[in-house]
Amino acid sequence: MAGLTTALVLSEAGRAVTVVSDRVPQRTTSAVAGALWGPYVFDDPRVLDWSLHSLPDLTAIAADPRSGVRIVQGIEASHEPAESPAWLRSVSGFATCGPSELPSGFGWGWTYRAPVFDMPVYLDYLMGRLVASGAVVRLLDGPLRDLDQALDIAPVVVNCTGLGARDLVGDREVVPSWGQLVITENPGIEGFFSDFPESEDPTYWIAHPDHVVLGGMVRHGRGDLRPDPEAAERIVARCAAVLPALGRARVRELRVGLRPVRPRVRLERGTHHGAPVVHNYGHGGSGVTLSWGCARQVQSLIG
């Protein structure tokens, strides 16, 4: 996600761009993401700014029905007394919900409009725009060995390797965070729901025209890609407690991915043997939320 978006921003600005990867977009973590725009809990004061600066681009993209991005109304709710984050009150469609507007068991909540993403469709859309802009895409047999190999390809390197940065640049601060989603048929619902605040077992659902994404799980440090059917049953049960129709919807598949989590996003310019290198990784579960804001900052760092 970070790599495609950054490459697109640079290429559409007139830069000669070559994208190198050891896998196609549909085989990346981004392809199995939720995905709902929102500056999730993150110990990094830059996250909110990047998130809000991504909104104009995402709003424009959502105007194209082929993009896989839609702006929809949804609800965030809490079992305990809670106030909405201050930044949310400037988002389109924001309003505080009354008790009758909330699911059973929730006493506090709010509604707002936000981008939601059908990620396989959105990744194809980004790739189509990238190729149309004139960028070159090269699929490698394996991961890049080091930055020297990257600099053999281009004089300026933008490192958007996510978890791959552990090996490419030896960054042990970026670690995997295992997550699982359940994909069901759509029983005739729209919008999204998310509980508040964030937890290791967040309850949320995101409706798309032909399916619903149910979540979720957050297991920091777990690095395998094995689905957990029992955990999936718990996800469905939590979502069905919010909206009973989801408990009767046929399960299509389980999706598992590894979020590239870091104490702080690494977005900075440096050098390698005198050549410019810009790092842009460690976005955790906020990849789509930060993608355009971070890409615009990479563009400014390159100059």
- The DSSP bridge partners found for residue 158 are 278
Instruction: Answer yes or no: is 204 a known binding residue.
Output: yes
Long-range contacts of 85-91 (CB under 8 A, 24+ apart): 87/39, 87/48, 87/52, 88/112
Distances 247 to 33, 76, 280 between C-alpha atoms, Å: 21, 20, 39
- List the chain domain ranges: 1-68+118-174+262-303, 72-115+179-258
pLDDT at 42: 64
Q: Is 30 annotated as a binding residue?
A: yes
Contact 243, 123 (CB under 8 A): no
Per CATH, 1-68+118-174+262-303 and 72-115+179-258 having the same topology is answered no
- Amino acid 248: pLDDT: 97
Residue 161 in marked binding region = yes
CATH of domain 1-68+118-174+262-303: 3.40.50.720
Do residues 139 and 133 lie in contact, with contact meaning Cβ atoms separated by under 8 Å? no
Question: 100 labelled as ligand-binding?
Answer: no
Question: Shortest CA distance to 18 belongs to which of 125, 130, 126?
Answer: 130
Taking every pair of Cα atoms in the chain, the longest distance, rounded to a whole number of angstroms, is: 62
Q: Is 259 annotated as a binding residue?
A: yes
What is the pLDDT, as a whole number, of residue 41? 58
Please tell me the predicted confidence (pLDDT) of residue 34: 87
Residue (of 66, 70, 88, 80) closest to 132 by Cα position: 66
Please tell me the predicted confidence (pLDDT) of residue 44. 80
Which of these, 201, 236, 193, lies nearest to 217 by C-alpha position? 201
5 is in an annotated binding site: no
23 known ligand binder:
yes
Q: Is 286 annotated as a binding residue?
A: yes
CATH no. of 72-115+179-258: 3.30.9.10
CA 84 to chain centre: 21
Tokens of 277: 């290198």
DSSP code at position 7: H
Ranges of residues in the chain whose predicted pLDDT is under 50: none
128 is in an annotated binding site: no
Helix (H, G, I), strand (E, B) or coil at 155: coil
What pLDDT digit, counting tens, does each position of 81-125 carry? 999 998 898 899 999 999 999 999 999 999 999 999 999 999 999
287 annotated as ligand-binding: yes
Q: Which among 257, 267, 235 is positioned nearest to 45, based on CA atoms?
A: 267
DSSP string, 262-296: -SS-EEEEEEETTEEEEEEE--TT-HHHHHHHHHH
